[in-house]
Homo-oligomer: A and B are copies of this chain.
């Protein structure tokens, strides 16, 4: 056992403060925690002394006594070196910042294997390291959700699941977004519009394709020219799909992508194959990553506020912790069509 040696803190403890003020620990604790049955005078003395000596309660002790960790966990997939992950960074930033407002901390854990394994969640639950979880990139049948529900452990998801009525969740309306994008392209005169999906394991991918299908269905375009291709939310996936789509006899004049990374891959291949963008081919992404604006041409996309996602998710979870019995809540936000240059009229 070469454990790290404990270095006893020279930090001031509640007993020091008690001694100093000639009060007892209990009184100090109550004074500081806003109990009403404390004389104003004592409370002030205590607070003043606490400030003077820089007293801050020991979190571990507090947590043990309270039986709470005041910490929320999030588990990141280990391999996320996709361009997508500008999302993760902003999401964490927002979550952390919003949790801090409520006095909660954010514990970031990494999943070594499959991103959807429950094992890290189990360990975190069993070791009482967190009071709740934020789960993102949900699957329709999500084992993580199943596990936490079975344990009756608080969590919120960013993204819907099959058990939507049994937990709090927040999501972007991907269906509506792609309806809007599709009808925009139709309006621009495109007759052959294709769609590249996002790996059907992600539940959200289904909503996006639904939006596409719905508007294509309503239109009078020739369905056989409106192809759906599988993708995987990566640039590479976009490249592969683009090859297949653009080397057809009647290639699409517009491609709708399930995310920006995919769109970048599509644009890359399209250029290699001699398509001009947007003259010969319109490309639309989804996510609104900042770098899209630096592409040539700047990527048109459906964007939404990641800060908002983080904030909403945190609010839902904190409310759940405060009132565990309340009915589950959900919220949907909308993406905005942001036309920057990679789309245009069909000539």
- The interface of chain A, by Cβ under 8 A from chain B, is 1-9, 11, 33-35, 54, 56-61, 63-64, 66-71, 76, 78, 80-83, 85-86, 88-90, 92-93, 96-97, 100, 105-110, 112, 123, 126-129, 131, 235, 264-265, 267-268, 271, 290-291, 293-296, 321-322, 324
Chain B residues in 8 Å Cβ range of A64: 58, 60-61, 63-64
| Cβ A108 vs Cβ B110 within 8 A | no
B residues less than 8 Å from A66 (CB atoms): 3, 6
The reply to whether B107 and A105 contact each other, CB–CB distance below 8 Å, is yes
The smallest C-beta distance from A340 to any residue of chain B, in angstroms, reads: 12
Q: Which residues of B contact A9 (CB under 8 A)?
A: 67, 128
User: Which one of B1, B76, B96 contacts A96 once the chains associate, using CB atoms below 8 Å?
Assistant: B76
- Are B97 and A112 interface neighbours, CB within 8 A? yes
22 cross-chain CB contacts under 8 A: A1-B34, A4-B70, A58-B127, A59-B127, A60-B128, A80-B93, A81-B90, A81-B290, A82-B290, A83-B294, A85-B93, A89-B92, A96-B109, A96-B110, A97-B112, A105-B129, A106-B107, A107-B107, A107-B108, A267-B296, A268-B294, A295-B296
Whether B295 and A294, one on each chain, are in contact in the complex, defined by CB atoms closer than 8 angstroms, is yes
- Cα distance A33–B58 when bound, in Å? 25
Across the interface, do A126 and B54 meet the contact criterion of CB distance under 8 Å?
yes
Q: Which residues of chain B are near A291, meaning CB under 8 Å?
A: 83, 235, 264, 291
Q: A127-B57, A235-B294 are in contact. Are A85 and B76 (CB under 8 A)?
A: no
Residues of B within 8 A of A294 (CB): 83, 235, 264-265, 267-268, 295
Q: How far is the CB of A156 from chain B (nearest CB, A)?
A: 15
Q: Tell me the minimal C-beta distance from A119 to chain B in angstroms.
A: 12
Which of A33, A107, A265 has most chain B Cβ within 10 Å?
Answer: A107
Contact B59–A129 (Cβ < 8 Å): yes
For residue A81, give the distance in angstroms from its CB to the closest CB of chain B.
6
Residues on B with beta carbons closer than 8 Å to the beta carbon of A128 = 9, 11, 58-60
Q: Are B78 and A93 in contact (CB under 8 A)?
A: yes
Q: Residue A86 contacts which of B57, B86, B126, B264 (CB distance < 8 angstroms)?
A: B86
Q: Which 4 residue pairs are nearest across A and B when measured between Cβ atoms?
A: A89-B89, A56-B126, A97-B110, A264-B294
Docked-complex contact A322 and B290, CB < 8 angstroms: no
